[in-house]
Structure 1
Amino acid sequence: MSTMNDVARRAGVSLKTVSRVVNGEPSVSEQTQQKVAAAIAELGFRPNSIARNLRTGRSPLVGLALPHLAQPYFSSLAEAIMREAERHGLTVLIELTGGDAEAELALMREHGPYLGGLLMYPVGLSDTQARTVARTVPTVFVSERAYDAPVDRVAMANREGVRALVAHMVSLGYTRIAALGADHTGLPERSAAHLRLDGYRDGLRDAGLPYDPELVLDVGTPDWNRPAGAARLRHLIESGISFDAVVAFADALALGALHAVQEAGLRVPTDVAVAGFDDTDEARYSYPSLTSIAPGTSQIAREVLDMLNSRMNDTTPQEQGRLVVADFELIVRESTLGGSAAWAGT
């Protein structure tokens, strides 16, 4: 097993310099950091996080607060964050909040003193509560909502992604495009549901198409799942309202929609094209395979851990809040292009 002494010899630097790099201290040049990082990678060195904790007084335990894991995106995000945390020598404790503000605050009160840092997908927190959480423990939010507080957050390109989906549908000749996943149950104004609906409006406006409220399908729950998607599409089909495409705000909703469309004897995409958001494994292996927006999950995991590490090492002023918006990619599959879509490698 390689040691810090081995890394120091390979990089041609002192043991103290290696220690500074491993602990994320800022007083090391970029060139030296790269030399040490290369030596660590070559030797397969893994810092002893427990020993480092004893020296620095920082806990290697990081909390990850998510609304739930039933939605495929959150389970994918959790896995990506856990992998990235391991690279930082951190251990992740997953807690489920149900999107309830009290549960989010309770997690901070109960576990905050034992955590070195906290990653949270907040749903119910107010601006004041978000500020309280960030001041109690080093925190990074995975959140679309902008808080009036100095908090770090990493967000998806929600609005831009759905806008790209609508543009894709329009480019294929679809003009009666339903939006599946609207929510008017009291979610914060800048929630993912609101932003994705804004993107839907943007896409229609770009194409010169009218906004038809009858094609905006409110699922009545913040939990985007297959049953909700299927039920809402069945209702739309039975209503007799004409539509030729569905842009779902989550893959789970889109998969439910696929089921309902095929159940009704309609062909995808010949009669109705369907697309989702999240690019989950289910999207790749559904039948037909699902066109979807890949929201940059790996990048999100990388950015939140980098931000959190700097907070844990006190290298970012407390009064400054940072924002990173992850890149996205439109992954085109059979549900919008039929058998002509390239399946392999997407």
Structure 2
Amino acid sequence: MAATLRDVALLAGVSAKTASNVINDRPHVKPSTREKVEAAIAALAYRPNLTARQLKYGRSGFLTLAIPQIDWPYFAELAARLTEAATEAGYVLLLEVTRADQVAERALMNGVPGKPDGLIFSPLSLSAAEIADRSDATPMVLLGERAVPTMHDHVSVDSVAAGRAITEHLMAIGRTRIAAIGRLSTSGTASVRMAGYHEALDAAGRPRRPEYEQGVGDYLREEGKTAMQRLLALPEPPDAVFAFNDLMAIGALQACREAGVRVPEDVAVAGFDNIAETAYTAPTLTTVEPDLGVLTREVLRLMLGRIEGTRTEAETVHVPWRIVVRQSTGG
């Protein structure tokens, strides 16, 4: 049978109230006492009774993370980090995969299955107006580089600044014909990364060349490869490419290999996200690295503040990022 709170208290030699204080991370518990209770929890493989918690505090002990894909490495790593952080905070993280379907995203935003205590949501298909019309009162923290209503907490990377910086890096290594691969969209992540790309070109007095802005249907390796093949087939192909995520950049590298185009000698390639695979491509890939550690901490801070009632004002948080220069741009 599953261990109970009383079992933990007996093994640790403390009262049930003291054991509960440790489990709920309340202050004013002696370090030595906390250590004994935590050892008992580990020995008994104790898990809190979430049903009892819900009855007593009106909380489920669950958080839901809604992301567009789980097989994209960026979202897989994000889910892993948030799961670990939620566990440390005493919550179980449930996963919903929307596949960026507008109907699925709208339904989720207006009524999360299982009634969790909070929703961490990365929508790709919803407009700011649709998010503003949300009818569900479950605390929500939004992820992603997009415009969101001011009444909601939002954690993101400043992709305009990052997109501009990576384009400026390509200019700084002497490239003059710089292309972009990504969705050609007026909203969401693609629009802000494209805005940064345009800002860098405009500031340097470089023309915007429509044939160098290659649209894709999805942010996948095969889409990046196909877009790169179109670029290489131009009468004047680019000498640098900024792909809006690492998967597409990896596809672009493959297109170059198959065409006998040298990277970075003939064309430099850069991506975005710094997924683990980028350190092992041939050549290794230059990319923008968001600080997922800060992102995770900020998401949990905002969410727990909402759940516990210690925060009422919405916050927008931009997490740090850096450019990781590798062989694909001469690093």
Aligned partner of 1:154 in structure 2 is 155
Cα root mean square deviation, aligned: 3.2
Aligned partner of 2:214 in structure 1 is 217
Give the superposition deviation at 1:330. Answer: 0.6
Aligned partner of 1:143 in structure 2 is 144
Aligned partner of 1:191 in structure 2 is 188
Give the superposition deviation at 1:2. Answer: 7.8
Please, what TM-score do these two structures have when normalized by structure 1?
A: 0.81
Aligned partner of 1:302 in structure 2 is 297
Contact 1:49–1:89, Cα closer than 8 Å, also in 2: no
Q: Which runs of 5+ in 1 are unaligned?
A: 24-31, 342-346
Amino acid of the structure 1 residue aligned with 2:203: D
Give the superposition deviation at 1:49. Answer: 6.6
Amino acid of the structure 1 residue aligned with 2:230: H
Aligned partner of 2:322 in structure 1 is 329
Q: Which stretch shows the higher mean deviation, 256-265 or 200-209?
A: 200-209
Give the superposition deviation at 1:157. Answer: 1.8
Aligned partner of 1:274 in structure 2 is 269
Give the superposition deviation at 1:88. Answer: 1.0
Amino acid of the structure 1 residue aligned with 2:142: F
Are 1:250 and 2:245 an aligned pair? yes
> Per-residue displacement from partner, 1:180-224 (whole Å, max 9, x unpaired)?
11424xxxx4411000001101122333322222211112x2x21
Change (3 A) 1:129 1:181: closer
> Per-residue displacement from partner, 1:267-325 (whole Å, max 9, x unpaired)?
111111111000001111111110110112222122111111111112222xx321101
Q: How does 1:198-213 map to 2 (within 5 A)?
A: 198-213=195-210
Counterparts of 2:240 and 2:68, CA distance in 1: 30
Change (3 A) 1:42 1:204: farther
Change (3 A) 1:293 1:59: same
Counterparts of 1:16 and 1:290, CA distance in 2: 49
Give the superposition deviation at 1:247. Answer: 0.8
Amino acid of the structure 2 residue aligned with 1:211: R
Amino acid of the structure 1 residue aligned with 2:66: A
Please, what TM-score do these two structures have when normalized by structure 2?
A: 0.84
Q: Percent of counterpart pairs with the same letter?
A: 33
Higher relative contact order (Cα pairs below 8 Å, separated by 6+ residues): 1
Q: Which runs of 5+ in 2 are unaligned?
A: 1-6, 42-46
> Per-residue displacement from partner, 1:118-174 (whole Å, max 9, x unpaired)?
111012234454245474211111132222351111011211111111111111111
Counterparts of 2:131 and 2:174, CA distance in 1: 44
Change (3 A) 1:176 1:126: closer
Give the number of equivalent residue pairs. Answer: 317
Amino acid of the structure 1 residue aligned with 2:224: G
Counterparts of 1:333 and 1:39, CA distance in 2: 49
